[in-house]
Chain A
Amino acid sequence: MIKCDLCDNPATVHMTEIKNGKKMEKHLCEQCAAKHEMLPSKSHTPINELLTNFVLAHSGLQSQTTQSCQSCGITWADFRQNGLLGCPADYDLFEKELTPLLQRAHEGGTHHSGKVPARVGTDGSATRRMVDLGKLRKELARAVEAEDYEKAAKLRDSIKEAEKIG
């Protein structure tokens, strides 16, 4: 067991910081980590989000739901045990718990981008629009990052247009 750097409690938050090319490891318990806001504040958002989720997942602060799915009967603990969900409804029921796992498994991805079935019940067009919007927003972020402002302006207009239709 690794002890917290600041007190005698077991460390549950492990961080590696690279400052001026030097690697620094920090091991903290949840209380100390929370008290000292040990999360790097100036890093990129995705990493920040990842860390927050990591801390949450290991801190017990997260509401570990004990609810079982009304449709298939599984609990979050069941899922953690065998890695398989029981039915489509679990994605909504366990959305909060699943999000950090999904981010880790999908290089930070949290929202679907890609094919949408032609007939998604009655709200097919709305769903497709949502996915398209997500895609446009991502392209916009990329264009800005690549400093392609002409493309970014066009994308911004397309996003506004798409938002209006809804």
Chain B
Amino acid sequence: MMKLSDLTQPAGEWLRGGGPMNDIVISSRIRLARNVAGFPFLSRCARQDRQVLESRLRDTILAAGISPKTLYVDLQQASDIERQLLVERHLISKPHAAAEGARGVAVSEDETVSIMVNEEDHLRLQVLRSGLQLEEVWEQINRIDDTLESKLDFAFHPRFGYLTACPTNVGTGIRVSVMLHLPALKLIGEIEKVFRAAKDMHLAVRGLYGEGTEATGDFYQISNQATLGKSEEEIIHEFKHLVIPKIIEYEQQARRLLLNERTVQLDDKVHRALGTLRCARLLSSEEVLFLLSHLRLGVHIGRIKDVDIRSINEMFLLTQTAHLQKIQNRKLEGDVRRAARAEYIRKRLGA
């Protein structure tokens, strides 16, 4: 079995920066909510049931061979920083990190697959890939679901489909999320229109870390809300052919407009971001996200040539609180942490 320290990739899969349309689409993610028949949902699970579930699900997942090498983290035993590290890599949710009681997560070595055990539902399967790859992601998660289902009896109802603790997830239990980088739409003041259009289509717009998080650094997660009455394929099809291409086109238009009509202002924005990152001595994580977002835009539209996207993506992740502390191998607070962050970025940018 792998250990947490074996997560050696400098950036989690979602930030590796490959995949189709990666100048605008950061990542494609699908999660499925499943519960084991014969057990209450977690809010009504006695401590013992919870433990039985946790060990049974852990054994089943590890025996199922969902990936060539699978790491299982017992979150009850893990340290605060380890849990935070998993959140920053998008492998567990914030509530799962903060919860109590028997729970864990199984992660594939390449970090594309993560399965949370005893989150809001008994199982929360997730597949995450960089760029726009929804069909590939669905194929992979569907296969994993089939494998687990051949070993577990999932709670299923002929009318309501897969039963979940919260009725907002019932049916397919699917949440399709696409993370987009939309700095140009923000700069020309059109981003609100995208939000409204998305909301009209019953889609949720969230920040980098999902539910309850603010959109920072022009990163937006768009996901479906309805899970009952629409099949998985219908939802994915809508995203892939309707929703996402329209937003991509909109952002591309906005980028062209900035390039053609506001070249100097645009150049000023992106170079100012680079300048600050190269010179600042104290940087908060929010400011870094904001600056890296502009830097990323500058690189993608060819106005900044001496920084590569790979380093930008790595900086996104490695300057976040838990990762920074892991690199430095010590606990950092306040200005000491902000100074360490600024120093790390200066080094990365060769300043």
A positions within 8 Å CB-CB of B: 71-74, 82-88, 91-92, 98, 101-102, 105-121, 126-127, 130-131, 135
Residues of B within 8 A of A101 (CB): 167
Q: Does B232 touch A at the CB level, under 8 Å?
A: yes
- Chain A residues near B37: list those with CB within 8 A: 88
Tell me the residues in window 152-195 of chain B with beta carbons closer than 8 Å to chain A beta carbons: 153-163, 165-168, 170-172, 174
Q: In the complex, are the beta carbons of B228 and A106 less than 8 A apart?
A: yes
Say yes or no for B44: interface residue by CB 8 A criterion: yes
Partner of B159, one of A88, A106, A111: A111
**Shortest Cβ distance from residue B11 to the other chain A in the assembled complex, whole angstroms:** 32
| Contacts known (A91-B157, A91-B160); A83 close to B166, Cβ less than 8 A | yes
Q: Which of B59-67, B142-150, B248-256 contacts A (4 or more CB under 8 A)?
A: B142-150
Cα A73 to Cα B37 in complex, Å, equals 17
Report Cα–Cα, A118/B39, bound state, in Å: 20
A84 to B166, CA, bound (A): 5
Query: Does any Cβ of A come within 8 Å of B202's Cβ?
Result: yes
Give chain A's interface secondary structure class: loop
Complex partner residue of A74 from B44, B154, B161, B225, CB under 8 angstroms: B44
**Interface pair B160/A86, CB less than 8 Å apart:** no
Q: How far is the CB of B171 from chain A (nearest CB, A)?
A: 5
- Which partner residue on chain A sits nearest B165 by CB separation? A84
Can you show 17 pairs from A to B with CB atoms below 8 A apart? A72-B44, A85-B41, A88-B41, A106-B230, A110-B228, A110-B229, A113-B171, A113-B231, A114-B161, A114-B171, A114-B232, A115-B161, A116-B156, A117-B162, A119-B150, A120-B158, A131-B161
Q: Are B41 and A112 in contact (CB under 8 A)?
A: no
Are B44 and A73 interface neighbours, CB within 8 A?
yes
The answer on a CB contact under 8 Å between B167 and A118 is: no
When distances are taken between beta carbons in the complex, the residues of chain B under 8 Å from A105 are: 167-168, 225-226, 228
B167 contacts A117, CB within 8 Å?
A: no
Known: A71-B40, A86-B44, A87-B40. A115 touches B167 (CB 8 A): no
A-side contacts of B202, CB under 8 Å = 107
Across the interface, do A115 and B40 meet the contact criterion of CB distance under 8 Å?
Answer: no
The interface residues of chain A lying within 8 Å CB-to-CB of B167 are: 85, 91, 98, 101-102, 105
Q: A88-B157, A131-B158 are in contact. Are A111 and B228 (CB under 8 A)?
A: yes
Interface check B28, CB cutoff 8 A = no
Q: Is B77 an interface residue (CB 8 A)?
A: no
**Interface size bracket, B side:** 35 or more
Q: Give every chain B residue within 8 A of A109 (Cβ-Cβ).
A: 171, 226-230
Q: Is the interface of B mostly helix, strand, loop or mixed?
A: loop
CA distance A92 to B145 in the complex (A): 25
Which has the most chain B C-beta neighbours within 10 Å: A91, A121, A126? Answer: A91
**How far, in Å, is B213 (CB) from chain A's closest CB?**
19
Q: Select B158's contact among A85, A118, A130, beta carbons within 8 Å.
A: A130
The digit string for B207-225, where 1 denotes a CB below 8 A from any CB of A, is: 0000000000000000001
Closest CB in chain B relative to A109 CB, distance in Å: 2
A114 touches B166 (CB 8 A): no
B162: chain A residues at CB < 8 Å are: 112, 115, 117
Whether A115 contacts B225 in the complex (CB less than 8 A), given A88-B163, A105-B167, A109-B171, comes out as no
B225 proximity list for chain A (CB < 8 A): 105-107
Distance A111 CA – B226 CA, assembled complex (angstroms): 12
Q: Decide if A113 touches B229 in the complex (CB within 8 Å).
A: yes
Chain B residues contacting A106 (CB-CB under 8 Å) are: 168, 171, 225-230
A127 and B156 within 8 A (CB): yes
Q: Sort A-B residue pairs by CB-CB distance and give the 3 closest, nearest first.
A: A109-B229, A112-B161, A114-B231
Q: Please tell me if B35 contacts chain A, counting CB pairs below 8 Å.
A: yes
| Chain B residues within an 8 Å CB radius of A87 | 39-41, 44
Please determine whether A84 and B226 come into contact, CB atoms closer than 8 angstroms: no
Contacts of B157 in A (CB 8 A): 88, 91-92, 112
Q: Give 9 A-B pairs besides A91-B167, A106-B171, A120-B158 with Cβ atoms closer than 8 angstroms.
A: A88-B155, A106-B225, A106-B228, A109-B228, A110-B229, A111-B160, A112-B160, A115-B162, A130-B158
Give A91 Cβ to nearest chain B Cβ, in Å. Answer: 5
B343 close to A (CB within 8 Å): no
Complex contacts, B232 vs chain A, CB 8 Å: 114-115
Complex alpha-carbon distance, A98 and B228, angstroms: 13
Given A71-B40, A112-B159, A115-B142, A107 and B229 contact (CB-CB distance below 8 Å): yes
